[in-house]
C-alpha cells in the first residue's frame, strides 16, 4: 500500500474555514503523514534534511494549499527551492524521488467556470500548475491532476462537508488503489462512475 | 496559666493538633473536627492536660476569627460585596429575626420570662463564622450559591452582635454582677453621650475605608521596598491588630472592622502577599480556638443531664436548620444548595460565648440557663462537621449536579492562563506581547516601584515572592497553563522550577536562563523550554556586524538562523554529556570545558551557512562536464 505525505502549506490557517475542515478529514491510514510547513518553519528556516527524509519515506506527495495569485504560498516555494536539491532530486545523480507520485489539493475563491479558457482566469488550474508539473517530471515523479475545491467564499456548510468527504474518499482511494487513474483525464470520479458534482471540482 | 509554663502549654496544644488533624483529614472528617476532638482529648474531662484556663485561651484564639474575616475581605472586592447586598440584608436580616423569634417563642412556651426568652433567642441565632467559613473553604464550597448565602448570613450576624450587646442590659431581670470589662459596650466611649458615640463609630469606619484606600498602600510600598520579609509580615499583623483595636474602642466588632479593611485592600497589589502572610497565623489561631471549644465542653454537666443537653442541641439545630432551609428556598436557591446552607449554619457560634458571659454579668440570664447553654453551643459546633459530612455523603449524591459547576465557568474566565514571574525587561516584554494578542496574564513581581508603576498604567500586577508555594496558589497556578519565569536570579529561578514542578505538574514552564550552566541546570530540572537571556541579542548584533562587513542582509539573516539552531542543538547535546561525565569537576573548569566542546562542534559543521538549493555550484559542475 502506498504511503501518503500531505505537505500542508497555509500561512493563516486560523482564517481558513475550508482548510481547517479538510485537515480534520484525512482518514487514519497507515503511512499517512501530515507535514504542516508554516507550523514547523514559521521563520522560513526549512530543515532540508528532515524534509528529504520525509519525502524518501513516502510514495505519494500531496501538496495541500490555497491558490495564491495562481500559485503556491511562499513557504512552499522556499521548500521547493531548498529541499529539491541538485544531485538529490534531479541531475545525473539525483534519483531520490524517482517513481513517486505527486499532486496538489487546492482551494480557490474563483468558480470552476472562471478557471476555463473562456473564463475570467483564462487558464485551468492544471495549466497554472505547469511549473510544478515540470518539476515533477524533472525529478522523475508522476504528476497527477489536482483536486480542487472552487468558490470557497460562497461555500455553504453542507457543501464543505461533502467536499471534505470527497477528499477523504480520494485519499483512501489513493492509498488502496481503488482510485481509477486515467492519464490526462478526470480521476476523481466516484468509484461507480462519473458524477456531476465531482467533475466540477476536477480539472482536465 | 495555672503554674504550667507557656512552652509546656504550647507543646500540649501543638502536639494535639499535629496528631489529631492529619488523622481527621485522612478519615475525611475535615480539620475543624480534628481540632475539636483534640480539644476534647486534652481537655479537663479526658486527659486533663489543660484545665479551665482553656477559656482564656479561647478568648485569645478568637483573634483567629478576626484574621479570618480580614482574609475573607481580601478576597472580596467591593463590587462583589455590593452585589451581595440583597442576600446580606435580606437573608441575613430575616435569619436573625426569624430564628430569634422562633427560639424566643419556644422559651416562652417553656415559661421563661420574656426577657430571658428573647436573650436566649438572640444568643442562639448566631452561627459560627469560624467553623463554617473554614469548612466551606476547605471543601471549596465558598463560591457556590449556598456558600455565598452562608457567607452573607454570617456577615449580617457579625453586624447584628452590636445592637444585641446594646439591648442586653435592658433585658436584665436579676441583678447585674459587676464583671470584668472587655466587652464592646464597655468601651472607652461608654461615657460619651449617644450622638458622640455614633459620630465616633462613623469616624472609625470612615477612617478604615479611606485609610485602606489611600494610607495603607504607600506604607506597604515603603516597607516592601525595604525588602525585609519579616517587616512585611509584621506590618500585616499590625494592620489587623490595629483595626481590631480601633473597632473595639468604638464598640464595633473587631471581626467586622478587619473584614472592612480586607475589602478595602482587596484590589491592591499586596493582596496575595497579605493573604499568604496572615494565613498561617489565622490557621493556627483558629485551630487553637477550636481546640479550646473542644476543651470547654463540660462533660460533667452533659453526663448529669444527657437528655436535657442532647434534646436542646437537637432542638436548636432543628429549629435553625428549618428556618435556614425555608429562607434558602424562598430566596430561590436550588434544593441541593439550600441543604448545604441549612446544614452548614445551624450550629451556635463563637459569639454566643461572648453574649452568654455578657448576659451573665448583666443579670439577664442566670447560671442555671447559661451553663447548659455553653455546653449546647460547644456541642452544636462540634456536630457541624458531622452535618457537613452527612450532607456530602448521603444527601448531595441524590442531586444530579452540584451548584459548583454553574459558577466554575465564571471563575475560569477570570483566571489568566499565563503567570509571569519577574516583570523586569525580560518578563514585561513577554507579558506585553501576550497582552497585545489578547492573552490574560497574571504578573508576580518583587519590585515595589515597578509594581506601582505598572498598576498606575492599568495592568494587573501583584507584589510578592513568586517562589513561595502559597503565593503561587493564590495567583492561580493550579488553573493556569503556562508559567513564564523572567526572574533576575538563576538560583531563584531554579527554586521556583522545583516548587512548581512538584506542586503543579500540569503547568508548562518557560524559563529564562543566563548562561549555559543555568540552561543545563534547568534542562536537568526537567524544563525543556529554556531561553538564554543574551542569545538572541548577541545573534542580532552578529547579524548586523556581518551586514556592515558587506554580507547581503538575507545571507546574514540566514547565517544567524542557522547558528541559532546549531547552538541550541549543541547545548542540548552538551547537557546530556555533562550529566554522563558526573559532577566532579568545578563549575569554572566546567564552563571552560563546555566552551571548548561548543567551539569544537562549530568546527565540525563547516557547512552551517550553506543553502545548497540556492547554490548553483554543483549544477554548474554538471553542465561543464557534459
Could you give the CA distance from residue B86 to residue A128 in angstroms, rounded to a whole number?
70
Instruction: Check residue A118 and give its pLDDT.
Output: 92
Instruction: Check residue B468 and give its pLDDT.
Output: 75
- Fold match between B6-176+191-405 and B418-610? no
User: Which three-class secondary structure state does DSSP give residue A185?
Assistant: coil
User: Is B619 an interface residue toward A (CB < 8 Å)?
Assistant: yes
**β-pair partners for A34:** A6
Instruction: Check residue B576 and give its pLDDT.
Output: 75
User: Which three-class secondary structure state does DSSP give residue B461?
Assistant: strand
Total number of domains in chain A: 1
Partner residue facing A45 (CB), from B565, B612, B622 = B565
Chain B hits for A83, CB-CB cut-off 8 Å, are 613
User: Which three-class secondary structure state does DSSP give residue A15?
Assistant: helix
Longest CA pairwise span in chain B (Å): 126
Instruction: Check residue A139 and give its pLDDT.
Output: 96
Instruction: Check residue B508 and give its pLDDT.
Output: 93
Instruction: Check residue A177 and give its pLDDT.
Output: 78
Q: The dihedral of CA A183, A133, A79, B602: what is its sign? A: positive
Instruction: Check residue B405 and give its pLDDT.
Output: 35
End-to-end Cα distance, chain B: 108
Chain A hits for B614, CB-CB cut-off 8 Å, are 81-82
Which residue in B has a C-alpha nearest to residue A83's C-alpha? B613
B562·A45 Cβ contact <8 A? yes
B622·A92 Cβ contact <8 A? yes
Evaluate whether the domain defined by B418-610 bears CATH number 3.40.50.720. Answer: yes
Instruction: Check residue B408 and give its pLDDT.
Output: 34
Q: Which three cell numbers stand for residue A97?
A: 524521488
| pLDDT, tens digit (0-9, with 9 covering 90-100), for B340-366 | 889 899 998 877 877 777 777 777 788
User: Is A48 an interface residue toward B (CB < 8 Å)?
Assistant: yes
Instruction: Report the candidate in B318, B325, B335, B282 with the shortest Cα–Cα distance to residue B153.
Output: B325
Could you give the CA distance from residue B339 to residue B394 in angstroms, rounded to a whole number?
11
Instruction: Check residue B267 and give its pLDDT.
Output: 78
pTM: 0.53
Instruction: Check residue B187 and give its pLDDT.
Output: 52
Could you give the CA distance from residue A164 to residue A20 in angstroms, rounded to a whole number?
10
Chain B hits for A91, CB-CB cut-off 8 Å, are 618-619, 622
Instruction: Report the candidate in B380, B323, B316, B315 with the shortest Cα–Cα distance to residue B95.
Output: B323
Our separate counts of H helices and E strands in chain B read: 30, 6
Could you give the CA distance from residue B519 to residue B571 in angstroms, rounded to a whole number?
8
Give alpha helix (H) positions in B126-228. 129-138, 145-167, 194-210, 216-225
Could you give the CA distance from residue A91 to residue A191 in angstroms, rounded to a whole number?
38
User: Which three-class secondary structure state does DSSP give residue B244?
Assistant: helix
Q: Which three cell numbers stand for residue A162?
A: 461533502
B611·A45 Cβ contact <8 A? no
For residues B419 and B475, is the Cβ–Cβ distance under 8 A? yes
- Number of residues assigned to chain A: 204
For residues A51 and A22, is the Cβ–Cβ distance under 8 A? no
B618·A81 Cβ contact <8 A? no
Instruction: Check residue A196 and give its pLDDT.
Output: 36
Q: What is the CATH number of domain B6-176+191-405?
A: 1.20.1530.20
A86·B614 Cβ contact <8 A? no
Residues contacting A50, CB < 8 A, separation 6+:
none
For residues B340 and B140, is the Cβ–Cβ distance under 8 A? no
Which residues, given as ranges, of chain A have pLDDT below 70? 180-204
Q: Which three cell numbers stand for residue A154?
A: 460562497
B619·A43 Cβ contact <8 A? no
Q: Which three cell numbers stand for residue B267?
A: 484590589
CATH number at residue A9: 3.40.50.360
Q: Which of B613, B618, B621, B626 to mutate to test the interface with A (most CBs of A within 10 A)?
A: B613
Q: Provide the residue range defining the domain that includes A189.
A: 4-201
Give the residue extent of every domain in chain B: 6-176+191-405, 418-610
Chain B hits for A92, CB-CB cut-off 8 Å, are 622
Which residues, given as ranges, of chain B have pLDDT below 50? 1-2, 176-186, 400-413, 584
Amino acid at each position: 500500500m502506498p504511503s501518503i505525505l500531505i505537505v500542508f502549506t497555509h500561512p493563516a490557517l486560523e482564517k481558513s474555514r475550508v482548510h481547517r475542515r479538510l485537515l480534520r478529514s484525512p482518514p487514519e491510514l497507515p503511512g499517512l503523514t501530515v507535514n504542516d510547513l508554516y507550523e514547523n518553519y514559521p521563520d522560513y528556516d526549512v530543515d532540508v534534511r528532515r524534509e528529504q527524509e520525509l519525502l524518501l519515506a513516502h510514495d505519494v506527495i500531496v501538496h495541500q494549499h490555497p491558490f495564491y495569485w495562481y500559485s503556491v504560498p511562499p513557504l512552499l516555494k522556499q521548500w521547493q527551492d531548498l529541499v529539491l536539491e541538485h544531485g538529490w532530486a534531479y541531475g545525473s545523480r539525483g534519483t531520490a524521488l524517482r517513481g513517486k507520485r505527486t499532486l496538489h489539493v487546492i482551494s480557490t475563491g474563483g468558480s470552476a467556470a472562471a478557471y476555463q479558457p473562456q473564463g475570467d482566469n483564462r487558464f485551468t488550474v492544471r495549466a497554472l500548475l505547469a511549473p510544478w508539473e515540470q518539476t515533477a517530471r524533472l525529478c522523475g515523479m508522476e504528476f497527477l491532476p489536482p483536486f480542487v475545491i472552487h468558490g470557497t467564499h460562497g461555500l455553504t456548510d453542507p457543501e464543505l462537508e461533502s467536499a471534505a468527504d470527497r477528499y477523504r474518499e480520494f485519499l483512501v482511494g489513493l492509498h488502496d488503489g481503488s482510485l481509477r487513474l486515467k492519464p490526462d483525464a478526470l480521476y476523481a470520479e466516484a468509484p461507480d462512475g462519473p458524477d456531476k458534482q465531482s467533475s466540477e471540482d476536477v480539472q482536465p | 496559666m495555672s503554674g504550667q509554663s507557656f512552652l509546656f502549654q504550647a507543646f500540649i496544644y501543638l502536639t494535639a493538633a499535629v496528631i489529631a488533624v492529619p488523622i481527621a483529614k485522612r478519615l475525611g472528617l475535615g480539620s475543624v473536627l480534628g481540632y475539636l476532638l483534640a480539644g476534647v482529648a486534652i481537655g479537663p474531662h479526658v486527659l486533663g492536660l489543660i484545665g479551665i484556663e482553656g477559656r482564656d485561651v479561647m478568648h485569645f484564639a478568637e483573634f483567629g476569627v478576626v484574621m479570618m474575616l480580614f482574609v475573607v475581605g481580601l478576597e472580596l472586592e467591593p463590587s462583589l460585596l455590593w452585589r451581595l447586598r440583597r442576600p446580606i440584608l435580606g437573608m441575613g436580616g430575616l435569619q436573625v429575626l426569624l430564628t430569634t423569634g422562633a427560639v424566643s417563642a419556644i422559651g416562652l412556651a417553656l415559661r421563661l420570662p420574656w426577657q430571658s426568652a428573647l436573650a436566649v433567642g438572640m444568643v442562639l441565632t448566631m452561627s459560627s463564622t469560624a467553623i463554617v467559613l473554614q469548612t466551606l473553604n476547605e471543601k471549596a464550597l465558598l463560591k457556590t450559591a449556598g456558600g455565598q448565602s452562608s457567607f452573607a448570613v454570617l456577615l449580617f450576624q457579625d453586624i447584628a452582635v452590636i445592637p444585641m450587646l446594646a439591648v442586653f442590659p435592658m433585658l436584665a431581670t436579676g441583678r447585674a454582677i459587676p464583671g470584668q470589662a472587655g466587652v464592646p459596650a464597655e468601651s472607652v466611649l461608654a461615657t460619651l453621650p449617644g450622638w458622640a458615640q455614633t459620630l465616633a463609630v462613623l469616624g472609625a469606619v470612615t477612617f478604615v475605608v479611606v485609610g485602606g484606600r489611600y494610607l495603607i498602600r504607600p506604607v506597604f510600598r515603603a516597607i516592601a521596598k525595604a525588602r525585609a520579609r519579616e517587616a512585611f509580615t509584621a506590618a500585616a499583623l499590625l494592620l489587623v491588630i490595629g483595626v481590631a483595636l480601633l473597632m473595639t474602642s468604638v464598640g464595633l466588632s473587631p471581626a467586622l472592622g478587619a473584614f472592612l479593611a480586607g475589602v478595602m485592600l482587596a484590589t491592591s497589589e499586596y493582596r496575595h502577599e497579605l493573604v499568604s502572610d496572615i494565613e498561617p497565623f489565622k490557621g493556627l489561631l483558629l485551630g487553637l480556638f477550636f481546640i479550646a471549644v473542644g476543651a470547654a465542653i463540660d462533660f460533667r454537666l452533659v453526663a448529669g443531664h444527657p437528655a436535657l443537653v442532647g434534646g436542646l442541641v437537637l432542638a436548636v439545630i432543628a429549629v435553625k436548620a428549618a428556618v435556614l432551609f425555608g429562607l434558602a428556598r424562598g430566596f430561590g436557591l436550588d434544593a441541593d444548595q439550600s441543604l448545604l446552607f441549612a446544614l452548614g449554619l445551624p450550629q451556635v457560634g463563637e459569639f454566643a460565648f461572648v453574649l452568654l458571659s455578657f448576659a451573665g454579668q448583666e443579670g439577664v440570664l442566670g447560671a442555671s440557663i447559661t451553663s447548659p447553654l455553653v455546653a449546647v453551643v460547644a456541642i452544636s459546633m462540634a456536630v457541624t462537621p458531622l452535618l457537613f459530612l452527612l450532607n456530602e455523603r448521603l444527601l448531595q449524591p441524590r442531586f444530579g449536579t452540584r451548584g459548583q459547576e454553574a459558577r466554575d465557568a465564571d471563575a475560569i474566565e477570570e483566571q489568566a492562563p499565563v503567570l509571569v514571574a519577574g516583570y523586569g525587561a525580560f518578563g514585561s516584554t513577554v507579558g506585553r506581547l501576550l497582552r497585545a494578542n489578547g492573552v490574560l496574564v497574571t504578573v508576580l513581581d518583587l519590585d515595589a516601584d515597578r509594581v506601582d508603576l505598572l498598576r498606575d498604567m492599568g495592568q494587573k500586577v501583584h507584589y510578592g515572592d513568586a517562589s513561595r508555594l502559597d503565593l503561587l496558589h493564590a495567583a492561580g497556578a493550579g488553573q493556569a497553563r503556562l508559567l513564564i519565569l523572567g526572574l533576575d536570579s538563576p538560583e531563584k529561578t531554579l527554586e521556583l522550577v522545583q516548587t512548581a514542578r512538584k506542586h503543579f505538574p500540569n503547568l508548562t514552564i518557560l524559563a529564562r536562563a543566563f548562561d549555559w550552566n543555568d540552561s543545563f541546570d534547568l534542562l536537568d530540572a526537567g524544563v525543556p523550554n529554556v531561553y538564554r537571556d543574551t542569545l538572541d541579542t548577541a545573534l542580532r548584533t552578529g547579524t548586523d556586524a556581518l551586514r556592515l562587513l558587506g554580507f547581503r542582509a538575507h545571507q546574514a539573516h540566514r547565517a544567524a538562523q542557522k547558528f541559532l539552531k546549531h547552538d541550541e542543538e549543541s547545548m542540548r547535546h552538551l547537557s546530556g554529556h555533562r550529566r554522563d561525565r558526573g559532577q566532579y569537576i568545578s563549575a569554572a573548569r566546567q564552563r571552560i570545558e563546555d566552551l571548548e566542546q561548543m567551539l569544537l562542534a562549530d568546527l565540525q559543521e563547516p557547512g552551517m551557512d550553506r543553502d545548497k538549493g540556492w547554490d548553483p555550484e554543483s549544477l554548474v559542475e554538471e553542465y561543464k562536464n557534459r
